[in-house]
């Protein structure tokens, strides 16, 4: 009776060790492959200064920004600062092909206009966090915003209220479910079943 149980325990332990090794390999290798897919980030803004000339209330900080960066192409998507001013909400799309109103538009107004090395530098700068600002004029309907070392002019999108706001921002990567997590959960379930049989 004892000799029949002992080999069973050995096979269970071997299965656990084997599956644990497979899980470790997947965790070590797959993240490198996953980096080829667009990565989602979140920017959170802190308000330090706010002012309005003609508005009823001073503008708050921008809403959180969710954007993606594709390491395989070094392109940004949805890098948009959404700023509720004293009278309306203004969107500054740093990753759009929307014309900046100048014949010499470059990555200063659209992060994707720069070279791959420029875009890699901009990503690193955004990930490090820094300062932001946004403002409108009292004598026109243009608006401007800055995020770290990049800026954007929004033509005909202001509110004539002379709003301004500034502060700091932080950026973090947003975890995303993936096939790797599903695989890990599956292997963990199998290991749990094997361990349960070993204990019984």
Looking at the structure, do residues 112 and 28 belong to the same domain, yes or no?
A: no
Tell me: do 45 and 141 sit in the same domain. Answer: yes
User: In this structure, are 8 and 53 located in the same domain?
Assistant: no
Kindly report the number of other CB atoms within 10 A of residue 43's CB atom.
23
10 and 106 share one domain: no
The whole-number pLDDT of residue 45 equals: 98
What's the confidence (pLDDT) of residue 38? Answer: 96
> What's the pLDDT score for residue 157?
86
**Same domain as 108, residue 12:** no
pLDDT of residue 198: 54
Which among 40, 20, 49, 60 has a CA at the least distance from the CA of 131? 49
Q: Are 171 and 42 in contact (CB under 8 A)?
A: yes
Asked whether 100 and 153 are in contact (CB, 8 A), the reply is yes
Q: Which ranges of the chain have pLDDT less than 50?
A: 5-6, 10, 17, 25-29, 32-34, 101, 103-104, 179
Would you state the pLDDT for residue 166?
98
In 128-158, which positions are buried (b, 16+ CB within 10 angstroms) versus exposed (e)? Answer: ebeebebbbbeeeebbbbbbbebebbbeebb
* Total structural domains within the chain: 2
**Under 8 Å CB-to-CB from 25, ≥6 apart: which residues?**
none
Residues 46 and 20 reside in one and the same domain: no
The confidence score (pLDDT) of residue 6 equals 45
Judgement on whether residues 91 and 182 belong to the same structural domain of the protein: no
To 5 degrees, how large is the angle CA 82–CA 87–CA 89?
A: 15
Same domain, 168 and 188: no
Q: Are residues 107 and 129 in the same domain?
A: yes
Which pLDDT score, from 0 to 100, does residue 114 have?
Answer: 82
How confident is the model at residue 152, as a pLDDT?
86
The pTM (predicted TM-score) of the whole model is 0.71
**What local confidence, expressed as pLDDT, does residue 18 receive?**
52
Q: Are residues 8 and 101 in the same domain?
A: no
Domain carrying residue 45: 39-173
Q: Does residue 51 sit in the same domain as residue 136?
A: yes
DSSP code for 113:
G
Are 114 and 28 found together in one domain? no
């Amino acid at each position: 009776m004892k000799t029949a149980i002992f080999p069973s325990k050995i096979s269970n332990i071997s299965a656990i060790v084997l599956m644990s090794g497979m899980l470790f390999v997947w965790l070590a290798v797959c993240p490198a492959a996953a980096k080829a897919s667009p990565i989602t980030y979140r920017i959170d803004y802190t308000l330090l200064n706010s002012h309005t000339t003609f508005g009823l209330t001073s503008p708050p900080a921008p809403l959180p920004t969710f954007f993606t960066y594709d390491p395989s192409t070094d392109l940004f998507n949805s890098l948009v600062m959404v700023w509720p001013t004293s009278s309306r909400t203004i969107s500054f799309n740093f990753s759009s092909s929307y014309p900046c109103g100048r014949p010499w538009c470059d990555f200063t107004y659209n992060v994707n206009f720069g070279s791959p090395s420029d875009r890699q530098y901009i990503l690193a700068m955004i990930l490090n966090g820094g300062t932001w600002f946004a403002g409108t004029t009292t004598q026109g309907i243009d608006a401007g915003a800055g995020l770290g070392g990049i800026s954007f002019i929004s033509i005909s999108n202001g509110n004539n209220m002379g709003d301004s706001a500034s502060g700091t921002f932080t950026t973090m990567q947003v975890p995303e479910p993936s096939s790797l997590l599903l695989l890990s959960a599956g292997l963990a379930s199998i290991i749990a079943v094997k361990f349960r049989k070993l204990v019984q």
